[in-house]
Amino acid sequence: MRLVRAELGQLLRDARLRWIGAVLVILLSVALVGAWRQAARDADAVQRITQAERGRWLGQDAKNPHAADHYGLWVFKPSAPLAILDPGVEPYTGRMVRIEAHLFNDAVFRAVQDANPLTRAGLGSVADIVQLIVPLAVILLGFSAFAADRERGTLRLALGNGAAPGRLFTARLAALLSALALVIGAPLLVLGGLAAANLDAPGWEVWPRLVPWVAAQLAYAAAFLILAMTLSLTARTARAALAASLLAWVLLCVAAPRLATVGVEAAAPALSYRDTRARIDGAVRGHRTAEASDERAKAILARYGVTAPDALPVDLRGLMSSENEQHYFAVFDAAFGAFFDSLLRQERAYAWAGLLSPRIALQALSATLAGTDFPQHVRFVWAAEHYRRGISERMNRAIIDNPQGGERRYTAGHDLWETVPPFDYVPMPLAGATFAVPFAILAAWLAVLGGAAALAIRRLKP
């Protein structure tokens, strides 16, 4: 501890720490507060529109339930509170789905459509700053840890007078990590905690997510710190250590994610969205022909042992509509199931690509912990679809149970609309999230870099 205190004392004298620390705190705080304000505005808008939609649904005129099914309504995915730290895929996937008869609609309301230039440049969120800027800051703090001493000659004096390289490395690492915990961990935990608690909603498990999320960011920073310090152990000069560290940053933070994306697309190609929609359209069109419809009507009459629709104890159109929906459900399940499965396979492959770069591992881990990863979106899409199916089934059931014929026309009113519950999205719990692979890979990066540092320490020469 005495040595760590001494190293902290040395560090605090270094103007670099003050400047870099101040810049990081400002960058992170500005990004976080900006995201917090935007999230609060969005949450307010979502709440207002959701209430208005509910009112619109309940306040609709008396009409045939099938017309009500087409009348439809909008449902929203509540934004994950930790999206203010890592928006993950949320800005790109949409948070609002139109629920209506027969249609599996895409989610809209994509934040990226209204993004500012900084966000479009990939530097708008706290996670962007941590993933791209923090490693640079860490390199600027760590590159001189040993190389500057070697250049100055103080390393020779220290080692020749009994300084143990391992203890020295550990103490310097601990001092720098403490500084990073202060300038990165503290603002993220305090401001992030305040904001996330303020935006909290049932099922999001804010604190169980936030603490490991901050720990993951610090582990990522620690990986780059160990890397920079290891290069500093081996480089002849501080300038060489800085150049090597910056090269490593370019490879790991800039080049590797692009390479990984190309590799994953080749290794685990996703189904085309256009082809998926075309397959669905083909399957629906084939089912909707007049001939096919007549055949199904005849089959129903035969099943009930009657020859005319008026003789049925149920409503023929309601029954046919219900059976048609079951067919569409099966089509959607197969086509979109395969489509989303292919995207999820890509996600899993990309998580494994974390072996190429700790940034990739952190991206996957961070979004999963924040609840803004792609599986969370897929869960919402299917939750909205199941809600839609529930409404369709309820409307069709009402038609089936109230046969129409001759002059009889069935119309339903407020009582039926009220039987439709509000859309209540339950997010995927943290325990159900799949973060084992990126977590293990990030831990492996730390272990490998720690091993490399241990080797360099053993070979340390002044």
The contact set with other proteins (CB under 8 A) reads 2-3, 6, 10, 13, 152-154, 156-168, 461-462
Instruction: Quote the CA–CA distance of 362 and 219 in Å, as a whole number.
Output: 9
Cβ closest to other proteins, residue 148 vs residue 191? 148
Cβ closest to other proteins, residue 408 vs residue 461? 461
Identify any residues that bridge with 40 across adjacent strands, giving them in sequence order. none
CB of 93 to other proteins, least distance (A): 52
Cβ closest to other proteins, residue 167 vs residue 303? 167
Cβ closest to other proteins, residue 149 vs residue 347? 149
CB 242 within 8 A of CB 461: no
Cite the DSSP H helix spans in 268-373: 273-287, 290-304, 316-352, 358-370
Handedness of CA 333, 336, 342, 344 (dihedral sign): negative
Name the one residue in this structure whose structure tokens are 């000069």: 237
Instruction: Quote the CA–CA distance of 330 and 112 in Å, as a whole number.
Output: 32
Cβ closest to other proteins, residue 370 vs residue 457? 457
CB of 122 to other proteins, least distance (A): 38
Instruction: Quote the CA–CA distance of 331 and 386 in Å, as a whole number.
Output: 14
CB of 219 to other proteins, least distance (A): 27
CB of 460 to other proteins, least distance (A): 9
Element (H, E) at 75: strand 73-76
CB of 162 to other proteins, least distance (A): 4
Local structure of 99: helix, strand or coil = strand
Instruction: Quote the CA–CA distance of 200 and 104 in Å, as a whole number.
Output: 29
Instruction: Quote the CA–CA distance of 263 and 70 in Å, as a whole number.
Output: 43
CB of 18 to other proteins, least distance (A): 14
Local structure of 354: helix, strand or coil = helix
CB of 212 to other proteins, least distance (A): 35
Cβ closest to other proteins, residue 159 vs residue 430? 159
Instruction: Quote the CA–CA distance of 96 and 93 in Å, as a whole number.
Output: 9
Cβ closest to other proteins, residue 158 vs residue 300? 158
